[in-house]
Amino acid sequence: MRTPDPDVNYIVSGLERSGTSMMMQILHRGGAPVAFDRSRQADYHNPKGYFELEGGKIINRLMEGTFPFDQYRGIFVKITAYGLQYLPSGPGYRYKVIYMQRSLDEILTSMEKMSGPLNREEERPAFEHLHRFALKILRRREDIDYLLVPYRQVVHNPVEEIDRINRFLGGMLSREDAVRAVDPDLYRNVKK
């Protein structure tokens, strides 16, 4: 298997509850280096773990400009959609981003279960706009190479999607191991 480029920051992104933790598990199982700590333990909402740094509050560090990107080159880090705007640019910065896409209704249902009632009329457009804003960042920044990955496809056709991800990563994953991280029984809130 190919080793990651030590000059590139690898990122898993997407709206919160879009399957970013699942993607981190897939990469981890598939043999890619993945950075996470145990500051947020696995729970009902993410039974296999969150695969996050700093209890998921990495966005605070990004906003402050204190996240040490140089220490995480060649390693996957989870940075959800809102954090993408704070990725530093300039000489020496190159990114490869796997961006998860999931039905916004499923995302909102999952958010609601995790954090309490939400006002869909107000919050739906806000998250839809954030998603479009994040996609624009990916499209426009020349230092970012990205792959859009539909959550539903990963759940229903893991082999096909993992092969696509593996091509994007230049063959970094063991397909057989990566596929084992996908457990369709865990993926609630997916409309049939």
From the list 21-29, 53-61, 162-170, 181-189, the region that binds other proteins by CB under 8 A is 53-61
Please tell me whether residue 7 adopts helix, strand or coil conformation.
coil
Among 18, 26, 29, 40, which residue sits at the site for other proteins (rule: CB under 8 A)? 40
From the list 97-105, 124-132, 158-166, 176-184, the region that binds other proteins by CB under 8 A is 124-132
Which residues is 146 bridged to in the sheet? Answer: 97
What residues contact 21, with CB distance under 8 A and at least 6 apart? 46, 48, 49, 50, 51, 52, 78
Please, is 47 exposed, middle or buried when counting C-beta atoms within 10 Å of its C-beta (0-12, 13-18, 19+)?
exposed
The Cα–Cα gap between 156 and 80 comes to 23
Does the footprint of other proteins cover residue 106 (CB under 8 A)?
A: no
Among 127, 146, 151, 187, which residue sits at the site for other proteins (rule: CB under 8 A)? 127
Among 136, 145, 160, 167, which residue sits at the site for other proteins (rule: CB under 8 A)? 136
Does the footprint of other proteins cover residue 105 (CB under 8 A)?
A: no
Among 88, 125, 170, 184, which residue sits at the site for other proteins (rule: CB under 8 A)? 125
Which residues is 13 bridged to in the sheet? Answer: 99
Q: Which is nearer to other proteins, 78 or 96 (CB)?
A: 78
Does the footprint of other proteins cover residue 115 (CB under 8 A)?
A: yes
